[in-house]
Amino acid sequence: MSESHSTVVHVSTVHHWDDSRIFRRMCLSLARHGYDVVLLAVAEREQSVDGVRIVPVPAARNRLARLLLTLPRVARQALGMRADVYQLHDPELIPLIPLLRLRGAKVIYDAHEDLVLQVLEKEYLPRRIRPAVAAIGGLLCRFADRTADHVLAASSKVAERYDAATCTVVRNYPEELSETISTPDYRDRGALAVYAGGLTIARGVVQMVDAMPLAGLDASWRLLLVGPHSPDDLIDRLRKRPGWDLVSHRTVVPPNEARRLMANCRIGLALLQPIGQNVDVQPTKLFEYMSLGIPVVAANYPECRRVVEGTGCGLLVDPTDPEAIGAAISYLATHPDEAEQMGRRGREAVATGYSWSTEEKRMLEAYSLLRDSGSPAGTASRC
């Protein structure tokens, strides 16, 4: 399998084609290093972007339609492509691993999150059935571990569920800023605290809204929320809270537009609630704020503490306490010199260590291991 002529197909039935981890980091990196890259993911049309061919997967109306209609279609498409390497990004794709390997391909499973703990925090699942669904998730992880050629894990905590000999940690550190994204001087930015990402209860959006009036700032200060929300009635529920009058809400925007919006803000919020895996992860959002020179208000968990205290890039709070969050927002808003220095230290830390360039090397080394391991002899017996 020659690197310059290897065809790699990334597959997802869940993620939109311009997902930060899948497209902006992994696919673009592989394309830059000579791989022929195809991305089979949710998209409106087929296109080629920066050397990556996008093959559309229609967005499913709901989870049941995705499993019963979209998944079989995507499986047929993937099997028909006959790539050298497949990288699968969703747990529901795990059963395809032995089928793809029997076709002679190498298969990588990309574990974005700890599936077992992720299930336990799913708000749409009734609490009484979550343990049973989590147990199924655990079996899927074991199946992927036994059948995939390699596993990429988004964090050390996620990697604990897989064999260390065939698992590489590739973290979601931010890639270099696009030339189209400018970062204004800190004093020229808007009077804005920001959270950009999935708007959910588990990510602390309720506490963010409640904290704004408690910060006691003048009316020019706003909380900017950017991203899709879940469950469907979440925004309606938030509108009834006193802090909503201080909120500006934007729904789904392209990744570069989200980063442009963040770049005009003075405070970044990373307030995962103490649910499931949240206490053990480094929020990707934390590093995105740092890369833009935004001082952070982050949850006082061990991984966040290690980054924030180690770099001096912001403040730590109890993420369940709106008063503590409001006080931290108030401090940064009323101490702009110190806030600007925090933002500068965060940006420097990303440039010297917490960047995608470091993780890109890990990913490319994993691909090189697959390339050098030869043809997948014994695939059938292993599967």
Q: Which domains does the chain have, with CATH numbers?
A: 3-174+356-382 (3.40.50.2000), 186-352 (3.40.50.2000)
Rounded Cα distance, 258 and 91, in Å: 27
What integer best gives the mean pLDDT of the chain? 90
Determine the residue type at 135: A
pLDDT in the model for residue 261:
94
Question: CA of 215: how far to CAs of 151, 196, 261, 272, 368, in Å?
Answer: 44, 20, 22, 19, 51
pLDDT in the model for residue 378:
38
| 66-100 per-position pLDDT tens digit | 888 889 999 999 999 989 999 999 999 999 999 99
pLDDT in the model for residue 375:
46
Helices (H), 173-252: 205-214, 234-239
| 155-171 per-position pLDDT tens digit | 998 999 999 999 999 99
Q: Which H or E run contains 138?
A: helix 130-147
pLDDT in the model for residue 69:
86
Instruction: Give 203's Cβ-side CA count (13 Å radius).
Output: 23
Helices (H), 264-355: 284-291, 302-311, 322-334, 336-352
Please answer whether residues 57 and 41 qualify as being in contact, where contact means their C-beta atoms are separated by less than 8 angstroms. yes
pLDDT in the model for residue 377:
37
Residues of the chain falling short of pLDDT 70? 1-5, 121, 123, 177-181, 374-383
Please answer whether residues 112 and 15 qualify as being in contact, where contact means their C-beta atoms are separated by less than 8 angstroms. no
CA-wise closest residue to 357 among 222, 125, 170, 202: 170
The model's pTM is: 0.82
pLDDT in the model for residue 118:
77
pLDDT in the model for residue 179:
54
Contacts of 190 (CB under 8 A, 6+ apart): 222, 264, 265, 266
pLDDT in the model for residue 124:
72
pLDDT in the model for residue 382:
40
pLDDT in the model for residue 383:
39
CA-wise closest residue to 1 among 124, 126, 85: 85
Instruction: Give 26's Cβ-side CA count (13 Å radius).
Output: 32
Please answer whether residues 186 and 298 qualify as being in contact, where contact means their C-beta atoms are separated by less than 8 angstroms. no
